Structure 1
Amino acid sequence: MRGKQPKERDHYVLRMADGTLVDVTREVYLEWYRSRRRERYQKERNRKHGICSLDSLEVRGNGSGHFQDVAEGVEETVLRNICRDKVREVLEKLPAEDARLIELLYFAEATVTDTAKLFGCSRKTIQNRRKRILEELCRKMKEQGIQGGYF
């Protein structure tokens, strides 16, 4: 165990929620306090970063009854699928190396650094190529009448 070690005792006692005292072994005692400290650390970290749970929202009176239903309509789904098909058509018309770069960066979620290693060039070269390819894709999509917002 890391951190400060408690001194050895003859017996260890835990106070239960109802106030009763229970004799436990040293291992149980240490694990109970370790888990309690872990929970306190997580709450402190979440508070520091502004993270709150749904349970805490309900306690504050901002319960889940206030969340809007964000279900997507059929028309929106159809429009998104049509746009994705058109984007795929534009991607298929790219040179093989450019298509591979876009595939790695956006579909395989590879980093720019990893992609640069695969292509055997610098990170800056990949960034410049990505910018040029994306500008070309935008121009071709505008020519085909594809507008953003659906994909």
Structure 2
Amino acid sequence: MAEKKEYRIKVQGQLVPVTEEIYLTYYRMKRRELHLEEKDARHGVFFYSGLDTGETNGEDAIPDLLSPHVEDMVVDKLMSQRLHQCIGQLTSQEQELIFTLFFQNKSEHQLAAETGIPRMTIHDRKVKILSTLKKLMEK
């Protein structure tokens, strides 16, 4: 009677008995992985993980081009704070108009229909207020 062959693979440093099918699949995958690494080496493919050190991760060196720069975020925040300070210097009627048009996203036509004030009057007031805000922002 032929002796049944035992198949083992190394898992976490220990040999574990497996079936022939698992053994063959495992070593095919290992050989495929080795083949792909050799192919990458021939074609000069570089992995950021090659830059890993004890303290840093090589992938951290990849610049994130989609995220806004910290400097831009700080400038935006400062500009926003300055704008709110300048809006605070306007009269209550001017503040209400700016709030309605820009923070509630109402159009000049909608505001004219709701208040009965002609649209061109609303437009002219808006232009004047924006000009005032620009001057205040430039101080």
Q: Which residue of 2 aligns with 1:73?
A: 69
Paired residues of 1:101 and 1:115 also in contact (CA < 8 A): no
Cα RMSD, aligned residues only: 1.5
CA deviation vs aligned residue, 1:44-72 (integer Å, no higher than 9, x gap): xxxxxxxxxxxxxxxxxxxxxxxx93311
2:102 is aligned, of 102, 106, 112, to 106
Distance apart, 1:74 and its partner CA: 1.3
1:129 is aligned, of 115, 121, 125, to 125
Distance apart, 1:120 and its partner CA: 2.7
SS at match of 2:68: coil
CA deviation vs aligned residue, 1:98-140 (integer Å, no higher than 9, x gap): 1111111111100101112333310010000000000010011
Extract unaligned runs of 5+ from structure 1. 1-67, 144-151
How far apart in 2 are the matches of 1:90 and 1:79? 16
Q: Please, what TM-score do these two structures have when normalized by structure 2?
A: 0.51
Structure 1 runs of 4+ with >4 Å offset = none
Structure index of larger Rg: 2
How far apart in 1 are the matches of 2:99 and 2:131? 16
CA deviation vs aligned residue, 1:13-64 (integer Å, no higher than 9, x gap): xxxxxxxxxxxxxxxxxxxxxxxxxxxxxxxxxxxxxxxxxxxxxxxxxxxx
How far apart in 2 are the matches of 1:123 and 1:106? 16
Extract unaligned runs of 5+ from structure 2. 1-63
After TM superposition, the structure 1 = structure 2 runs for residues 1-151 of structure 1, keeping only pairs within 5 Å, are 69-143=65-139
SS at match of 1:85: helix
Count of paired positions: 76
